[in-house]
Chain A
């Protein structure tokens, strides 16, 4: 049979689906890139906040003990564990939990905790994840089930979070890849009894959950993370899976994933994080603290700028009307509705 004799539509080359995803293209980094990005964000934030302190009252920043990039990361890590707790409480599916965690991590590759405290960012990331994974709940029932949380805590940040994610909401998860492995290993010729396989799968899934506390999802594709977790759970089964797929080379590639999960997968100690959080109260960016002097100053500046823009626009419309533009009136009405372009 000849190929469909249709017009010059060149169908895209058959690459793996994952390779055309935004995750593959925009959200994979080397360990070094992650370190550089976080350090740069941290340093830029310190410089900006120091500047704000100094312009408020000179000399006031000298004894502030700012957070370093590692401390920021520890705090984010603690809030990753809070997402899991909340998901347990709401009985959200695994996909919501995993997506919320990914959003939180990605957010802090574009922002620092000194500007945006992870508590509300965490709540917002999770709320956004319920929507992007098609498990929406109303904001009212979401916030009313979380102590000391108002709808505005979530709504105020939702846009910022979406923007920080570059509106790239689709996430490819390791637990999905593990599900694929689970289906495969049941077909292996010398597979152990089903009960044992189930235990292996459960253990591997626990390793996947641990891996969410680490950077591996920002470095490796989900399939490799899944294989690493299966190897941690049962090296022989993982090896015979790899043999069955002629993919023994994959087993070497996952060594560093196994190491990272084992090394970084621990929950940070509450005492250490509490100390970081205490210091954060002093060194957070005053421009982001609603009601502070610096916040009000920044807001006033923004408001006057947009007012100026509005006036310029209204002025143009008036001129158009005076020149007898037949659409002047309609435009004038539009201009009142529409103030942002």
Chain B
């Protein structure tokens, strides 16, 4: 046996697969544990042999970035080993994701809870951006929640290094509802600001408990954005009419955020508005967001361990099956956010698939914190 094979076999022996908990086109997910400690883990087995171009790009991206990134708010890749022609990623085990929590109607979110999730989200994202990594697929079900309440950014299947100035990147990224207008207009030169837009949408969704900008097609997405935020003017977003896929959508008036987010504080709306600025260069950075007055004002963020939990989290989480779902493929086609990069295999995920799709969620509800 070669030294490389031997080292691989030694690594493989450290982990035990207990139970298959989900299967997708590209990967099978197992719940397992570390042999020495009994620590719970998830093993994502990626089938490699079946691709005509060899190792699949989203697997390459995920492994490349998770190997380098170690942060409390980024999912931890514990080990990688191979079995025959399969690639096995050993990941920390996480109970649930933010989408599950948002959809759990029995949970009430306090402003302090939202602030805590936002702080963790921005910390994880600031770390990615500090490492020049664009995530390019932020959405609630890519934000996993550990048993201690820590939020972890997951799914780096579409991530890439920020390109040098002048180098093109694909605009077919980020799930539609969380995709910024510059990408919808076909912009091929973009920055960390694309992730900030997604975070803004998630911020709003945490307050509304329903997706903030749920477009039904790429064109409808732009219309949905403009209906909510007003059609951008040349002054607000210089040059946007020159973008490759620019189309005139019609004139919508700007309605104040206050009209929809009736109970939010001024700081909250100020930070939200800075995340969803049309002009990408004026959008707030993750670092500046962490220093925004919102995070210093009362109420202080909830301690992660005290954040709302789904029933699955509180009751025997160990026995609950974990399901696997193919990232950007929307299982309920039509109203869903739709697939992202053409020609990019959808990334795989370690999380529960949502059984039903609540169509009523397409309509944003007004938020009333007084009820909470």
Chain A residues with CB under 8 Å of chain B are 1-2, 4-12, 17, 20-22, 41, 44, 110-111, 115, 127-128, 131-132, 134, 136, 138-140, 151, 154-155, 158-160, 162-164, 166-170, 334, 338-341
> A341: which of B17, B65, B291 is its contact (CB, 8 Å)?
B17
Q: Which residue of B lies closest to A162 (CB)?
A: B55
Complexed CA–CA distance, A341 and B82 (Å):
11
> A134: which of B3, B86, B130, B160 is its contact (CB, 8 Å)?
B160
Is B2 a contact of A115 with CB atoms below 8 Å? yes
Residues of chain A contacted by B300 (CB below 8 angstroms)? 5-6
Is A5 a contact of B63 with CB atoms below 8 Å? no
> A110: which of B4, B72, B80, B290 is its contact (CB, 8 Å)?
B4
Complexed CA–CA distance, A275 and B304 (Å):
66
Is B53 a contact of A341 with CB atoms below 8 Å? no
Complexed CA–CA distance, A143 and B263 (Å):
61
Q: Which residue of B lies closest to A116 (CB)?
A: B2
Measured CB to CB, the closest approach of chain B to A327, in angstroms, equals 11
Known: A1-B291, A22-B68. 8 other contacts (CB 8 A): A4-B295, A7-B301, A7-B303, A11-B72, A20-B70, A128-B55, A169-B64, A169-B67
Is B119 a contact of A4 with CB atoms below 8 Å? yes
B interface bracket (residues with beta carbon within 8 Å of A) = 35 or more
Asked if B320 CB lies within 8 Å of chain A CBs, one says no
Measured CB to CB, the closest approach of chain B to A222, in angstroms, equals 15
Interface residues of B in 255-300 (CB under 8 A from A): 290-291, 295-296, 300
Central interface residue in B4, B119, B161, by most chain A CB within 10 Å = B4
Is B67 a contact of A167 with CB atoms below 8 Å? yes
Contact mask B137-151 → A, CB, 8 Å, 1/0?
000000000000010
Residues of chain B contacted by A160 (CB below 8 angstroms)? 4
Residues of chain A contacted by B3 (CB below 8 angstroms)? 41, 44, 110-111
Q: Which residue of B lies closest to A330 (CB)?
A: B20
Residues of chain A contacted by B119 (CB below 8 angstroms)? 4, 6
Q: Which residue of B lies closest to A44 (CB)?
A: B3
| A-B contacts at CB below 8 angstroms, number | 111
> A340: which of B72, B83, B295 is its contact (CB, 8 Å)?
B83
Q: Given A5-B300, A166-B80, A167-B80, do A158 and B55 touch, yes or no (CB 8 Å)?
A: yes
Measured CB to CB, the closest approach of chain A to B83, in angstroms, equals 4
Complexed CA–CA distance, A270 and B8 (Å):
36
Q: Given A158-B55, A159-B82, A167-B63, do A338 and B120 touch, yes or no (CB 8 Å)?
A: no
Residues of chain B contacted by A158 (CB below 8 angstroms)? 54-55
Is B123 a contact of A9 with CB atoms below 8 Å? yes
Measured CB to CB, the closest approach of chain B to A22, in angstroms, equals 6
Contact mask B38-81 → A, CB, 8 Å, 1/0?
00000000001000111101001001110110111100000010
Q: Which residue of B lies closest to A136 (CB)?
A: B57
Residues of chain A contacted by B80 (CB below 8 angstroms)? 166-167
Complexed CA–CA distance, A154 and B3 (Å):
21
Measured CB to CB, the closest approach of chain A to B259, in angstroms, equals 29
Q: Which residue of B lies closest to A48 (CB)?
A: B2
Contact mask B147-160 → A, CB, 8 Å, 1/0?
00010000000001
Is B68 a contact of A154 with CB atoms below 8 Å? no
Measured CB to CB, the closest approach of chain B to A221, in angstroms, equals 16
> B150: which of A9, A11, A131, A338 is its contact (CB, 8 Å)?
A9
Interface residues of B in 293-316 (CB under 8 A from A): 295-296, 300-305
Q: Given A1-B296, A4-B290, A169-B63, do A155 and B4 touch, yes or no (CB 8 Å)?
A: no
Residues of chain B contacted by A6 (CB below 8 angstroms)? 116, 119, 295, 300-301
Q: Which residue of A lies closest to B159 (CB)?
A: A134
Asked if B131 CB lies within 8 Å of chain A CBs, one says yes
Asked if B84 CB lies within 8 Å of chain A CBs, one says yes
Is A11 a contact of B123 with CB atoms below 8 Å? yes
> B130: which of A7, A8, A17, A128 is its contact (CB, 8 Å)?
A17
Complexed CA–CA distance, A169 and B61 (Å):
9
Q: List 7 A-B contacts (CB under 8 A).
A: A7-B301, A9-B150, A22-B68, A160-B4, A162-B55, A163-B4, A169-B60
Q: Which residue of A lies closest to B68 (CB)?
A: A170
7 closest Cβ pairs, A-B complex: A169-B64, A167-B80, A7-B303, A5-B300, A340-B83, A158-B54, A6-B301
Asked if B85 CB lies within 8 Å of chain A CBs, one says yes
Q: Which residue of B lies closest to A1 (CB)?
A: B296
